[in-house]
Amino acid sequence: YYTDPVSPSLLPDPLPEPYGRPYTLVINLNDTILHLDWSTEHGWRAAKRPGVEYFLAYMSQFYEIVVFTTSQPHNAQPLLDKLDPYGYMMYRLYRDSTKYVDGVHLKDLSHLNRDLKKVVAIDVDEKAIQLQRDNAIIVPRWDGTSLDDGLLKLIPFLEMLALSGVDDVRPVLHSYIGKDVPVEFARWQKKLRDDYERKRREEYERTQAAANPVARAAQGLLGRGRLIVEQPGLGIENVDPALGPSPFDIMEAQTRQMREAFLKDQENFRKMAEEQRKQQIEEMEKQMKEMKEKKMSMLEWFGLQNGGPKAPEASPAS
């Protein structure tokens, strides 16, 4: 067992801007983004969690991604190579990077060589991350089922955390301890929006009433319906024409546009990667063909140097 991490600084110094990311996302492997299953018929089989490719690619825009597993390198590395062929996980940490205490492999985030105010960890084992619990999001273990969207549901929260530029993630993450993060975050967002919209409407009505008593009476007769109006450019619908889009409307539209642009970029990236792969295969086949032709030419040259091919000797008369 490894009683202490292999090094006091498990990661190199952060990359400078614009290559680095302001936050670090430490992700557990087993039952978080991958599930191992064993049977007598097939032996060990690995399943990657639904949406993991999109999750890693999209989060890599905001976070420096580090996978931290208690598995041995020779077991985990081949799985990670297949799971992350494009290298969205910048660093990989294995069992030799943990601290072994009382039968538990602890992931001591203080050895990451990163500011803990900017570190978010996703894990299924609260004991493994107990030394920096306020840095962690504990999620249910994934059992390998294909009907799962656990990773994708975390995206809005992690996205908000990064885009908000929060100075210290720990107070935010601490407030979610013992709660379902996606559910609580959605509930918080809705309450924040409802409260803002209510206050904005009340302020607007007060202003209108003070400026024009007739408008106030008309408003009482016509009601306060929220009309469906499209805002060109942002693609915002269902906006009150009197108030215009709220900051929440604008933020949601910008986020939607950002995700759509990301998907388009990813599709172009995959097409380019596939084209490069085809070109590499064609080049390799071409080189193999040329090597075969050269080999035949050399054999023919040696045959000429030795007087050319010899006629078969006649068999002796019987």
Q: Is the CA virtual torsion 231, 237, 238, 244 positive or negative?
A: negative
Of 7, 173, 159, 172, which is closest to residue 91 (Cα–Cα)? 7
pLDDT of residue 318: 45
Q: Do the beta carbons of residue 113 and residue 13 sit within 8 Å?
A: yes
Measure Cα distances from 80 to 83, 150, 234 in Å. 5, 20, 39
Tell me how far apart the alpha carbons of residues 81 and 87 are, in angstroms, rounded to a whole number.
Answer: 8
- Domains contained in the chain, CATH given: 23-178 (3.40.50.1000), 186-252 (no CATH)
pLDDT of residue 70: 94
Q: Do the beta carbons of residue 46 and residue 34 sit within 8 Å?
A: yes
pLDDT of residue 51: 93
pLDDT of residue 58: 92
pLDDT of residue 276: 76
Distance spanning both ends of the chain, measured CA to CA: 82
pTM: 0.73
Neighbours of 84 (CB within 10 A): 20
Burial class (CB in 10 A: 0-12, 13-18, 19+), 242: middle
Question: Residue 94: helix, strand or coil by DSSP?
Answer: coil
Run of H or E residues at 44:
strand 43-48
Per-residue pLDDT of the chain (318 residues; tens, 9 = 90+): 568 999 999 999 999 888 899 999 999 999 999 999 888 788 888 999 999 999 999 999 999 999 999 999 999 999 999 999 889 999 999 999 999 999 999 999 999 999 999 999 999 999 999 999 999 999 999 999 989 999 999 999 999 999 999 999 999 999 999 999 999 999 998 998 888 888 888 887 787 777 666 555 555 544 444 444 444 555 555 566 666 667 667 677 777 777 777 777 777 777 777 787 788 888 888 887 777 776 666 666 566 555 555 555 555 554
